[in-house]
Chain A
């Protein structure tokens, strides 16, 4: 990250454990270590991609950043201010700056509210007058490529792509500077995905938004993000600029992930690298490197103690001995 760029959000050593309760007294028997050491930073007007397979904790990271869940350790610094200890009441003024677009445009809109009402709700909470709310609502609908006439319609009258546009309009309704997109296009058809990607890109250029882009699809992340953090079993294993990550992946997991993504541009002679086994349970991760059970390069020292980031290049961090 260039030092000239102003950091909007910085996350350091973020941890979130969920207790597993068992037995008559519901004693805490174990913890699911959903997020277990996540660090990254988003500069103003830039996008960070958070990639990983299901269960790696990427959506939990989103919820912790928005303080919908309380972190167990770590710091969330927004515009230079540590927001980790803030109470829900203290968070309220910040909420209008941090918004989220959810994966499923079918379940994230209230079916009993017109899309206009859904978009206006945030503005009402900010205390805008009815006239100003409606003006802003129409402006937002036009901005995401829907007609202002559609404000009185209900979500079921829209297609998936249109609903996702409404989701984006709702996230923009307040004075957002950070938008967290949690798999915003994976529920959409291929021909519609490009429409939403273009929309997100245009809005970023126009409004100088920062995105945290959460996805399992490396093709999308490679297209949209400036910086990419690869997550495996609760922590970031590699963190680099998108170009660097795709051209010179260092962590064995990143390498496999890149080769496993089917792409129409892939060289068909190159063999897909496959891993043995599947992602282990986050309840009982092995000591040492969490990737040890599936890693082709594993050696005894990987099984002892936590592995810290090593810097392998400018802005390129890897959690692996072998990478340096």
Chain B
């Protein structure tokens, strides 16, 4: 068994316990997040990875108190940032946390930035909301932030509107805005999906270097396993509103235990698989309102046995922080 991963600082920054977020439709309830627990330590990058509809974005929105209620309902759970339970905070309490202690980088910078304000105004607004500093100081900080994220001639760019920047530069502005108040945690929801690969590499390197410099934690939400393997310290694999496997990057990528994780990794095309047929997971992701009974993955699973359709699977511990929600595979592999 490999060494367990030791985060740079062992203290837990964010702890999510048994989070359930449901959305009520007129004749059904969509259980988008259905009992999700994870933690993020100070200074580490944690990836939530899963396909569309697995509940990863809703989890992120719930952390920031951004789930629209109604139709959303936080049916249960705790979200603790250090000692505060974010779910019990009032709107003002949350305002203090958002942008200040936790900030978010969205997938599509063109829709996340306001088109009628200059980027300087938007970054300075983020500072103004949380800190009482003079306008000159705000300007100075703003220029510093734009320099940090690698935007050339930042003084001139302050007066630019979002449409005057390229996609990569807009995403850099989003990162600068997220960093404005030195947050302890950045939630990045598919921050590079809309970007080209060479620009994606720039943004990933940028986030890595900022993180090293400031001991910040990053919760990275993505569907791209390639990106996960480049950025993650620890990985949580989600399927149908559940965490199905968790562990360090090496545990999950080198020794995947859950049939879903194994299937995903086997189905990725690459040059080394040329000429061989790709493994493909049959079927498609279940509708969150009509999930199968028992293990939600069993209709698509190659390792499914009769019990899978009946019993809800619990987490099985492989040691050193590596857990997988598949008891049949666990007991089979224990016997071998």
Residues of A within 8 A of B (CB): 53-54, 159, 161-162, 189-195, 197-198, 201, 216, 218-220, 222-224, 242, 246, 256-257, 259-266, 268, 272-275, 278-279
Q: Which of A53, A192, A266 contacts B230 (CB 8 A)?
A: A266
Q: Is the CB of A190 within 8 A of B230?
A: no
- Residues of chain B touching chain A, judged by Cβ–Cβ distance below 8 Å, are 51-52, 166-169, 196-202, 204-205, 223-230, 253, 263-265, 267-274, 277-282, 284-285, 300
Residue of B52, B230, B271, B272 most packed against chain A (CB within 10 A)? B271
Is B198 touching A257 in the complex (CB atoms < 8 A)? yes
Supplied contacts A219-B269, A278-B166, A278-B198, 14 more A-B pairs, CB within 8 Å: A189-B51, A190-B268, A191-B51, A194-B267, A194-B269, A219-B226, A222-B271, A260-B200, A263-B226, A264-B229, A268-B230, A275-B202, A278-B196, A279-B196
Report the bound CA distance from A253 to B271 in whole Å: 19
- Chain B residues in 8 Å Cβ range of A219: 226, 268-271
Determine whether the beta carbon of B229 is less than 8 Å from that of A189: no
A64 to chain B, nearest CB (A): 22
Quick check: A274 and B197 within 8 Å, CB to CB? no
- Do A194 and B273 form a contact, CB below 8 Å, given A219-B268, A264-B226, A275-B198? no
**Considering only CB atoms, which chain A residue lies closest to B192 in the complex?**
A262
Inter-subunit contact A263/B270 (CB<8 Å): yes
* Cβ–Cβ < 8 Å partners of B225 in chain A: 190, 264
B226 touches A190 (CB 8 A): no
Contacting residues, chain B, for A272 (C-beta < 8 A): 201, 204-205, 230
- Residue on A nearest B196 in the bound complex, by CB: A53
Residue pair A190, B267 in contact (C-beta under 8 Å): yes
In the complex, which residue of chain B has the Cβ closest to the Cβ of A226? B274
Distance to closest chain A CB from B194 (angstroms): 10
Contact (Cβ within 8 A) A193 B197: no
Q: In the complex, what residues of A have CB within 8 A of residue B253's CB? A: 264
- Please give me the residue from chain B that is nearest to A259 by CB atom: B201
Q: Is A268 a contact of B269 with CB atoms below 8 Å?
A: no
Taking CB atoms, residues of chain A closer than 8 Å to B169 are: 278
Nearest chain A CB to B60's CB is how many angstroms away?
A: 18
Cα separation A194 to B268 with both chains bound (whole Å) = 7
**Residues in B whose Cβ lies below 8 Å from that of A220:** 269
B198 near A260: Cβ-Cβ < 8 Å: yes
Shortest CB–CB separation between residue A195 and chain B, in angstroms?
4
| Contact of A260 with B271 in the complex, beta carbons under 8 Å | no
